[in-house]
């Protein structure tokens, strides 16, 4: 009988609203779904912009095993030092080679399964980063052979680029998923190779907003074309996450399902 690992992936967690929702629901969610390993994108934890030691510790205390990042990775200056002190953090592997931190990490479940988490960032509409496809190929060579699953957070704007990454890593990664757009997609699939894919997990934050930010400031910036300070909505978050079951012997995904928890 295959030994299945239940993995929970949480998309971009937006500020206080997202953290409150996870405080209320994540421990129960982990118990209910018999989750062995949890990963979340943490680049928006601190009021929507970057993360701090305090906000990260909140997530770790709730059962999150790894926090991935994206283009807001360095918005909080303290994280420049923090990321080198803790292997539970990743930043996109195709950032500058001079950036602190690491592009992938391996953490162990309570039952002893080693899970690799790789973090990448897209180039389309995102900036002049190094090639994520070359970085992904390099990571596949570097990640130890004894891992039981490989998860890939592709933090990108373009759906085509995210889909391209899933095919680039087809048969190598257990789950390739997108973050960044803050909008969940319903295209979850398991390729014939056993690689699961979803274009965007979606944010854990308030959907009475513009991608987690207060409507007034975000809309005014669009209409007036003038600089406005974005402010994260602080209450009423919906949790979006995806559960994937992986066969530890083959690293292949055998089941995928989206999870949504509405505000109470």
Catalytic residues: 72
Residue 36 near residue 110 (C-beta atoms within 8 A)? yes
Query: What number of CA atoms fall less than 13 Å from residue 104's CA on the CB side?
Result: 26
Q: Report yes or no: 64 and 39 within 8 Å, Cβ to Cβ.
A: yes
Find, among 143, 119, 5, 9, the residue nearest to 64 by Cα.
9
Nearest to 179 by CA among 249, 88, 246, 117: 117
């Amino acid at each position: 009988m295959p030994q299945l690992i239940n993995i929970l992936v949480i998309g971009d967690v937006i500020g206080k609203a997202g953290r409150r929702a996870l405080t209320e629901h994540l421990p129960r969610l982990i118990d209910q779904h018999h989750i062995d390993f949890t990963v979340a994108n943490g680049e928006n934890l601190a009021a929507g912009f970057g993360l701090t030691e305090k906000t990260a510790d909140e997530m770790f205390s709730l059962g999150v095993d790894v926090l991935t990042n994206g283009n807001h990775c360095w918005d909080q200056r303290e994280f420049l030092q923090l990321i080198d002190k803790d292997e539970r953090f990743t930043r996109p592997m195709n950032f500058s080679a001079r950036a602190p931190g690491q592009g992938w990490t391996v953490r162990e479940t309570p039952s002893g399964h080693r899970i690799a988490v790789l973090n990448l960032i897209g180039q389309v509409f995102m900036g002049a980063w190094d090639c994520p496809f070359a970085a992904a190929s390099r990571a596949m060579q570097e990640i130890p052979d004894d891992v039981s699953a490989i998860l890939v957070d592709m933090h990108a704007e373009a759906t085509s680029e995210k889909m391209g990454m899933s095919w680039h890593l087809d048969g190598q990664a257990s789950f390739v998923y997108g973050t960044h757009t803050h909008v969940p997609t319903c295209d979850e699939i398991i390729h014939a190779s056993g690689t699961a894919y979803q274009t965007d997990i979606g944010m854990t934050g308030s959907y009475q907003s513009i991608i987690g930010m207060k409507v007034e400031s975000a809309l005014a910036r669009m209409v007036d074309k003038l600089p406005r300070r974005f402010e994260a909505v602080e209450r009423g978050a919906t949790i979006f996450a995806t559960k994937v079951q992986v066969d530890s012997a083959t690293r292949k995904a055998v089941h995928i399902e989206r999870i949504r928890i509405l505000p109470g």
